[in-house]
Amino acid sequence: MQFALNEDQIAVRDMALAFAAEKIAPHALRWDEEKHFPVEVMREAATLGMGGIYIREDVGGSAMTRFDAALIFEALATGCPTTSAFISIHNMASWMIDAYGSDTQRHKWLPKLCTMELIASYCLTEPGAGSDAAALRTRAVRDGDHYVLNGQKQFISGAGGTDLLVAMVRTGGDGPGGISTLVIDGNTPGVSFGANERKMGWNAQPTRAVIFENARVPVANRLSEEGVGFKIAMAGLDGGRLNITACSLGGAQTALDKARSYMKERKAFGKRLDEFQALQFRLADMAIELEAARTFLWRAAAALDRKDPDATMLCAMAKRFGTDAGFEVANQALQLHGGYGYLSEYGIEKIVRDLRVHQILEGTNEIMRLIVARKLIEGAR
């Protein structure tokens, strides 16, 4: 249990905060408006070790903990939740190669992934398989030393702007036991991409469908054995849920800070807004919710680092609580700005739009409740 950060953790957090303030925050509104994918800035982050946060050192990773990652992604999200979230997705895909790949695979891809010379997307969701990931239908049929892929992935972050696709595909029968994981070069013949989706938020990263039409992928690109893919996907999502929760808290913290500053300047009925007790209480509740969510996040991250038997449940709990709290705090911050909060130049409405999707991705918050309920019921038997 950690109730205070040590010197190394403070240094890691402060490094990420400084990078967010200098390199990300000043450009976040423009990136959102122009739908710009800030690859060069992300590569600058990678020079500070943020391209392979929990990747082993022998391939260029930073070998940090999930707890460290939570601090980093929250800090980066104070500048732009969308950019931080994509770096987290890249780290998750890279970790799958590090954790489940052979030494040959690790040394082939990870050195360039850690520098973000290569950038990775994670491909699980399909048009008919979102929350029910075990029902995915993208088929990989063995043909000698290759698999022939046919199918479609949906809502893939970075698709069309990334180099590698870590994809869950069906090599066997129905259900989770028939799923395997392939690392696919984005330029493989037969791999194409849909149009960049028009989204409510997360505009600083492209989101496209990935389409496989008789795409040939070497069997040597499969991570682990056939049939292990669903296990790999679920293991990756434990950490991904912590990361996206951290991104929610970083965005919400910025929204809260903006609201505090605005309330010191804005007057109504002859008083500054921060002199009204009702609004003071609202600020207090927002800060309490954020602190509770942050404490929960740290607890779950520490459990994942320890490989605690309850880590999956705690990650689901933290994700449900933290992403709901983050969105609500940002929404309240917009309300405290009144009409100005609805204007893009104040930056609040962007945070609200960006954080809304966090309640959906990495497993919807309804699925988080299902995971928790199943664990509780199993434990009661």
Q: Quick one: what percent of the chain has pLDDT higher than 90?
A: 96
Confidence band for 45, pLDDT divided at 50, 70 and 90: very high
d(CA 195, CA 275): 49
Q: Are 250 and 73 in contact (CB under 8 A)?
A: yes
Of the two residues 132 and 212, the one the predictor is more confident about is 212
CA angle centred on 121, ends 81 and 129, rounded to 5° = 95
pLDDT of 380: 64
pLDDT of 165: 98
Task: Evaluate if residue 3 carries a pLDDT over 80.
Answer: no
CATH of domain 121-225: 2.40.110.10
Q: Are 251 and 78 in contact (CB under 8 A)?
A: yes
d(CA 359, CA 70): 17
Q: Where are the alpha helices (DSSP H) in the chain?
A: 7-19, 28-34, 39-47, 66-77, 81-100, 103-114, 229-265, 277-306, 311-336, 348-356, 365-380
d(CA 266, CA 261): 9
CATH for the 7-119 domain, from 2.60.120.10, 3.40.50.720, 3.90.1530.10, 1.10.540.10 = 1.10.540.10
**Those residues with Cβ within 8 angstroms of residue 308's Cβ, 6 or more apart along the chain or in another chain:** 314
pLDDT of 354: 98
- Average pLDDT score over residue span 151-156: 97
**pLDDT tens for each residue of 72-97:** 999 999 999 999 999 999 999 999 99
- Average pLDDT score over residue span 309-337: 97
pLDDT of 303: 96
pLDDT of 295: 96
Q: Quick one: what percent of the chain has pLDDT higher than 70?
A: 99
Task: Evaluate if residue 125 carries a pLDDT over 90.
Answer: yes
pLDDT of 2: 61
Confidence band for 186, pLDDT divided at 50, 70 and 90: very high
pLDDT of 4: 86
Q: Which of 2-6, 28-32, 181-185, 263-267 has the lowest mean pLDDT?
A: 2-6
Q: How long a stretch of residues is the chain?
A: 381
Cα-based distances in Å from 373 to 317, 324, 366 = 10, 18, 11
Active site residues: 362
pLDDT of 204: 97
**pLDDT tens for each residue of 194-217:** 999 999 999 999 999 999 999 999
Question: Considering the chain, what is the average pLDDT of its residues?
Answer: 96
**What residue segments make up the domains of the chain, in order of their start?**
7-119, 121-225, 230-379
**pLDDT tens for each residue of 217-273:** 999 999 999 999 999 999 999 999 999 999 999 999 999 999 999 999 999 999 999
User: DSSP state, 61?
Assistant: -
d(CA 192, CA 204): 21
- Average pLDDT score over residue span 344-354: 96
* Bridge partners, 151 (sequence order): 212
Task: Evaluate if residue 365 carries a pLDDT over 70.
Answer: yes
- Average pLDDT score over residue span 338-344: 95
pLDDT of 131: 85
Task: Evaluate if residue 134 carries a pLDDT over 60.
Answer: yes
Q: Residue 316 in 3-state DSSP?
A: helix
pLDDT of 250: 98
- Average pLDDT score over residue span 101-119: 98
- Average pLDDT score over residue span 323-327: 98
Task: Evaluate if residue 381 carries a pLDDT over 60.
Answer: no
DSSP string, 99-167: HHS-HHHHHHHHHHHHTTSS-EEEE--BTTBSS-GGG---EEEEETTEEEEEEEEEEEETTTS-SEEEE
pLDDT of 379: 77
CATH class in words for 230-379: mainly alpha
